[in-house]
Amino acid sequence: MLEYLLEKLKILRNRKKVIIGLGHPAHFHLFKHIITSNQFEVIVVISDKDILADLLISNQITFIKIADYGKYKNLFSKALKILFSSFKLIQIIRKEKPNLLIGCLTQLSWAGWVCNRKILFFAEDDYAYTKMQGKITYPFVTKIITAEGVNVGPYASKQLTYPSYQKLAYLSPEVFQEKPKGELLKKYKLAKQYFLIRLVNLSAHHDKNIKGIGHNELDRILKDLLPFGDIIISSEKPLDKKWSEFQPNLDVNDMHHLMNHAKGFISDSQSMTVEAALLGTPNVKINDFKDKISILSELEYSFQLTKSFKPNTITSKDLKEFASEDLEIWRERRKVLLKSKVNPIPIYISLINQHLA
């Protein structure tokens, strides 16, 4: 027994220390299996957004918040946020002495560069879409980790790609354990057939002058879909009280399960549209980014796993056709996609170990 305990202590002492930086709820899902894998000593730092902190708390994961959510309305204040939170992160690095920094925060690149640490930056979007972030982040990182097909512009020499998508790190059949549909229907008092609508702020710097689903369009969508089933609205921004009946108090851990069992999903969120597509749930994206993002274009035109519209262009005929989509056809399309993609988690862990060596 003593020998076993000594061996365990030796393993713990030899574990490498990693800081993981998160800035979006999707980043929690992306790294949650690495955080809980017990392969590394992990320190989680966050720039809070939407339900990110709630997800970490509900999953009993400790974290350090380096920036608050919702206080930064213009480009200048957002720049100050990154600057001040980078100073906080530098202090954390100097205290904790991590071997490696990984994640999706610009602050990691600045703080890691100042503290002479290797940085693996996980990116999902094309450089043309997030050009400002790329310009202030990519010069300071060690490697940019992306799915195949993501264009990182002039920083291709730093890019490492893998044959998958980030979101398959938590939506691959190997790791996603769906909750029973009946449990969710009972919990949220839903009809057997329901639709999920997700609205986001579109307030990031790369979303400037970008429009999503407006109030009039939301009214029209509700009118056309209600004859086909119940509707849940999840919104990042406050909505008019007239829509409150469609906004139940959702458990932060239920979103992907509700999405998985929905008859259909409509959103102006890029991230959650990709998630719906990878689950094989019929989905529609409505915003000004139509045909401008590589991964979503691949999902739409190579795998027929999403459909996109610019704001105020989707018709009642389109919505009625969407409401009548055959779920089994979409599930078969998902199977085709999964044959060409892999669960990226083993790749991530391998890359982390390579850069810890």
Model confidence pLDDT, tens digit, residues 233-287: 999 888 899 999 999 999 999 999 999 999 999 999 999 999 999 999 999 999 9
Question: What Rg value do the Cα atoms of the chain yield, rounded?
Answer: 21
For domain 16-164+342-356, the CATH architecture is 3-Layer(aba) Sandwich (3.40)
* Average pLDDT over the chain, rounded to an integer: 91
- Summarize pLDDT for 295-308 with one digit per residue, the tens: 999 999 999 999 99
User: Regarding beta strands 17-22 and 41-47, do their DSSP bridges make them parallel or antiparallel, or are they unpaired?
Assistant: parallel
Using an 8 Å Cβ cutoff, are 160 and 122 in contact? no
- pLDDT score at 103: 96
Whether 16-164+342-356 and 181-340 share one fold: the answer is yes
- Element housing 316 (H / E): helix 316-323
Q: What is the pLDDT of residues 332-351, one digit of tens each?
A: 999 999 999 999 999 999 99
Q: How far is CA 226 from CA 14, 219, 223, 239, 315, in A?
A: 58, 11, 6, 19, 15
Percent of the chain with pLDDT over 90: 79
Q: Is the pLDDT of residue 32 over 60?
A: yes
> 20 is written with which tokens?
């993981």
What would the two tokens of residue 30 be?
């992306």
pLDDT digits (tens, 9 = 90+) for 135-169: 999 999 999 999 998 999 999 999 999 999 999 99
Of the CATH numbers 3.30.420.40, 3.30.450.20, 3.40.630.30, 3.40.50.2000, which one belongs to the domain with range 181-340?
3.40.50.2000
* The pLDDT value given to residue 15: 75
pTM for the complete prediction?
0.89
- The confidence score (pLDDT) of residue 73 equals 65
Nearest by Cα to 147 from 299, 285, 306: 299
Domain ranges of the chain: 16-164+342-356, 181-340
> At 10, is the pLDDT very low, low, confident or very high (cuts 50, 70, 90)?
very low
pLDDT band at 12 (very low <50, low <70, confident <90, very high): very low
Q: Are strands 143-147 and 159-162 parallel, antiparallel or unpaired?
A: parallel
**Per-residue confidence (pLDDT) for residue 5, from 0 to 100:** 46
